[in-house]
């Protein structure tokens, strides 16, 4: 692609670094921005920059947050004794979209994957054990992807929580998932949370 303006070329290259955006789409977006008022484009770039600079992670559940404690943890209408363990913030969004879950979350920040060099120490596991010890949590729901890594992580967590007076369940994963939790359609995901199983019955399969 040949440009007569280095300014446009730079902008196209920045957009093309986004996942799923090729050079052609990037050019279309840039040309669209060129048609806007400069003040509008200024606002666009400021919103993006502010989002990146000011985003925080909830001190309790590690979800993205505007405050020290996220809006889910701070809500009075959520069941505080119920915690759903997920891999990342996209899973939180997927489960929230079902509108069928009324407990809290715990975002691990990944799953155990020796191949990728991710061990338990790199994940938010210690803080989960602390929460279960200190916050009167009665049930931990494992909502991790149905992969070897997901199973390894569930096994590790269940051993860590074994001595504590807490029920451990897993989302029903016999139902066909698209692989990753976030790709499951809302109905399927909602049903699998409602029909969650005790960990023992899952492990025996």
Q: Report how far residue 196's alpha carbon sits from residue 189's, in angstroms, rounded to the nearest whole number.
A: 10
Q: In angstroms, give the least distance from the CB of 89 to Zn ion.
A: 10
With CB under 5 A as the contact rule, the residue among 12, 63, 106, 199 that binds Zn ion is 63
Nearest approach, Cβ of residue 135 and Zn ion (Å): 12
From first CA to last CA, the distance across the chain in angstroms is 54
**Region 157-176 residues binding Zn ion, contact defined as CB under 5 A:** none
User: Measured between alpha carbons, how far is 68 from 87 in angstroms, rounded to an integer?
Assistant: 20
Min separation Cβ 176 and Zn ion, Å: 31
145 binds Zn ion per the rule CB under 5 A: no
Question: Diameter of the chain by CA atoms?
Answer: 68
Specify the DSSP class assigned to residue 176.
Answer: P
Instruction: Phi first, then psi: give them for residue 158, nearest 5 degrees.
Output: -65, -35
Q: Which candidate, 142, 135, 152, places its Cα nearest to that of 173?
A: 142
CB 139 within 8 A of CB 169: yes
Q: Is 88 in the site for Zn ion (CB under 5 A)?
A: no
Closer CB to Zn ion, 64 or 203, in the complex: 64
Q: Which stretch binds Zn ion (CB under 5 A): 73-81, 90-98, 146-154, 182-190?
A: 73-81
Question: Does residue 51 contact residue 44 with C-beta atoms inside 8 Å?
Answer: no
| Binding segment (CB under 5 A) for Zn ion, from list 27-35, 53-61, 139-147, 179-187 | 53-61
Q: Is 58 in the site for Zn ion (CB under 5 A)?
A: yes
By the rule CB under 5 A, 98 interacts with Zn ion:
no
Residues that bind Zn ion (CB under 5 A): 58, 60-61, 63, 70, 73
């Amino acid at each position: 692609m040949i440009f007569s303006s280095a300014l446009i070329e730079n902008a196209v290259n920045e957009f093309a670094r986004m996942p799923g955006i090729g050079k052609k789409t990037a050019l279309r977006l840039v040309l669209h921005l060129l048609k806007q008022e400069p003040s509008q484009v200024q606002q666009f770039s400021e919103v993006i920059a502010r989002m990146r600079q000011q985003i925080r992670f909830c001190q309790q559940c590690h979800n993205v947050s505007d405050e020290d404690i996220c809006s889910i943890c701070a809500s009075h209408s959520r069941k505080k004794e119920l915690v759903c363990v997920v891999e990342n913030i996209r899973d939180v969004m997927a489960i929230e979209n079902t509108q069928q879950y009324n407990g809290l979350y715990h975002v691990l920040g990944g799953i155990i994957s020796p191949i990728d060099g991710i061990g338990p120490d790199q994940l938010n596991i210690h803080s989960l054990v602390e929460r279960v010890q200190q916050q009167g949590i009665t049930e931990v729901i494992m909502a991790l992807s149905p992969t070897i890594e997901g199973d390894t992580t569930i096994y590790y967590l269940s051993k860590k929580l074994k001595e504590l007076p807490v029920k451990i369940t897993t989302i029903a994963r016999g139902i066909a998932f698209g692989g990753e939790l976030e790709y499951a359609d809302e109905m399927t995901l909602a049903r699998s949370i409602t029909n969650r199983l005790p960990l023992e019955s899952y492990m025996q399969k």
